[in-house]
Amino acid sequence: MADRISRRGLLGTAVAGAVSAPLLGRASIPSAPKKPKNIILMVSDGMMPSVPVMANQYSELVLGKKSVWAQLKRADDAVHGLMDPRILEGFVPDSAAAASSWGSGTHILNGYVNAFPDGTFLTPICRLFRQAGMKTGLVTTASATHATPAGFAAYTISRRGEEEIAVCYLNEEVDVVMGGGSKFFDASARSDKRDVSGDFAKKGYAVARSTKALKAAKGRVLGLFAENQTPYEVDRVNTPALEEQMPSLREMSVEALRLLKGSKEGFFLMIEGARVDHAAHNNDAAAIVGDQLAFESAVEAVLEFARNNGETLVVVTSDHGCGGPTLNYQLFPGKDTGLYLLPKSTMSFEVLLPLLKDITNPDDYIAKVTEHTGVTLTAEQAKFVIRNRDEKILDGVTQYSYQYAGLGMVMSRHWNVGWTGTSHNGDYTWISAVGPGKEQFEGIVLNRTFFEKFLAFKGLKFVNPSISVEEAYRQREAAKTSAWMVGEEMVGL
């Protein structure tokens, strides 16, 4: 159980000059932790430690101020730790297994949502909180039914079962659900033609499809603002129609707080900046900085609420790292290089790539990239991307595995942001916490212990079943479920 070492223990060790013994023990904090009424978990999906560092560097260089994260790291009322993101079968999770570890306290296989391969479902934390009289909310920039929010209220043998996850939310009566993914709720798009959004309305939910409708909604709310994922921030703010129709993560967060704050027994709210991870898979520096700063803007609003409220714990972290972005080089006077160039991008790779896909002439390719990013590729760089755009192993030697990586790789020569790959990685992630109970998140914290900590704050205890990796593999082999994850690299998840 020595998964957490207090800051006091580490400092004591350093001063005394001792090396190993104190680190093995669990130094205790004398005063009992205070308990919050409300719990807010904020997740920047795929935010490895370098991401908020780089976003702050951008903020300092271009916006002339320290980022919200950089301010939080220096705040007197915040504590900090690192999260160990491992799951049942290894050090590198996908978002489904990672969120399930938070949402059920059990380590499972990648690809499953609170489930063992034999169909055993675990009890998600939102149900336990609802049964205790609390309100619950899930807010994301992915589809509302994406793996991370699903991990707190749903259970299915494959994260790809987003239609099932929508029904889980309905049955679990999550009070506030916001994000994209309308196609998993609407009869016109669902494979079974079931009108799940209509079923929410029948249960008394307001179903909001725009910022205006969201701001007017009362009581329980299902907010669906896009058919799939919501747009990257760089696309949202550069497309007036999108900005009007699609609330920012900060706006969704503020509305969620408005809807949940009156709860007598308190509330649990999970807020996810989901597309930091997607930008990392795509090796898209402009998109990752934009979405990270949009997430931090939501953090700012939530911290303001929590600091005024005084009964609210806010935990800010990530489920895993992704892509390995790092600023490789940047001179302060270098106004025409590196991070200084990012504001010239008016679209994400997700929007740009389709515009480039049929261009075979390098000069035309260069012109189109320049038009939308302000970056002028060299002829060799354009040829490299054109040559490799359908390849998973670039020029036969580079072990990247995603169509976007070629563009990301050549753009890195201009933006000075390098990448280690296009998939998830095993880096520990930052944790910052503010409010009653924050002390529980100092040191190195194993992901699945969030579940018991959150429950304990509300005087609850619940232990889900656990499973060995051997048994899980045996079950998976027997059930032939979720084989999609075997041998597949974690790209676009």
Give contact residues for Zn ion (rule: CB under 5 A). Answer: 277, 493
Query: What are phi and psi for residue 488, nearest 5 degrees?
Result: -85, 140
**Residue among 331, 322, 417 nearest 375 (CA):** 417
Nearest approach, Cβ of 101 to Zn ion (angstroms)?
A: 15
Nearest approach, Cβ of 456 to Zn ion (angstroms)?
A: 30
**In the 8-state DSSP scheme, what is residue 137?**
E
Nearest approach, Cβ of 290 to Zn ion (angstroms)?
A: 17
Question: Would you say 154 or 301 has its CB closer to Zn ion?
Answer: 154
Nearest approach, Cβ of 109 to Zn ion (angstroms)?
A: 16
CA 234, CA 199: separation in Å to the nearest integer?
34
Length of the chain: 493
Nearest approach, Cβ of 31 to Zn ion (angstroms)?
A: 39
Inter-CA distances, 413 with 191, 216, 349, 356, 383, Å: 44, 46, 16, 19, 15
For 4, how many CA atoms within 13 A lie in the half-sphere containing its CB?
18
Question: Would you say 181 or 247 has its CB closer to Zn ion?
Answer: 181
**In the 8-state DSSP scheme, what is residue 182?**
G
Nearest approach, Cβ of 46 to Zn ion (angstroms)?
A: 5
H or E segment and range at residue 462: none
Tokens of 57: 């560097």
The closest residue (CB) to Zn ion is 277
With 0-12 / 13-18 / 19 or more C-beta atoms within 10 angstroms meaning exposed / middle / buried, residue 347 is buried
Question: Would you say 277 or 296 has its CB closer to Zn ion?
Answer: 277
Query: Residues 97, 482: contact at Cβ < 8 Å?
Result: no
**In the 8-state DSSP scheme, what is residue 261?**
T
Question: Would you say 47 or 178 has its CB closer to Zn ion?
Answer: 47
Query: What are phi and psi for residue 137, nearest 5 degrees?
Result: -150, 145
Tokens of 269: 């709210």
Question: Would you say 97 or 214 has its CB closer to Zn ion?
Answer: 97
Question: Would you say 142 or 366 has its CB closer to Zn ion?
Answer: 142
Query: What are phi and psi for residue 61, nearest 5 degrees?
Result: -70, -45
Question: Would you say 150 or 176 has its CB closer to Zn ion?
Answer: 150
Nearest approach, Cβ of 417 to Zn ion (angstroms)?
A: 18
**Residue among 87, 220, 209, 81 nearest 147 (CA):** 87
CA 101, CA 108: separation in Å to the nearest integer?
7
Question: Would you say 134 or 287 has its CB closer to Zn ion?
Answer: 287
Nearest approach, Cβ of 319 to Zn ion (angstroms)?
A: 9
Query: What are phi and psi for residue 225, nearest 5 degrees?
Result: -115, 5
Nearest approach, Cβ of 320 to Zn ion (angstroms)?
A: 8
Question: Would you say 277 or 350 has its CB closer to Zn ion?
Answer: 277
**Residue among 15, 28, 49, 25 nearest 439 (CA):** 28
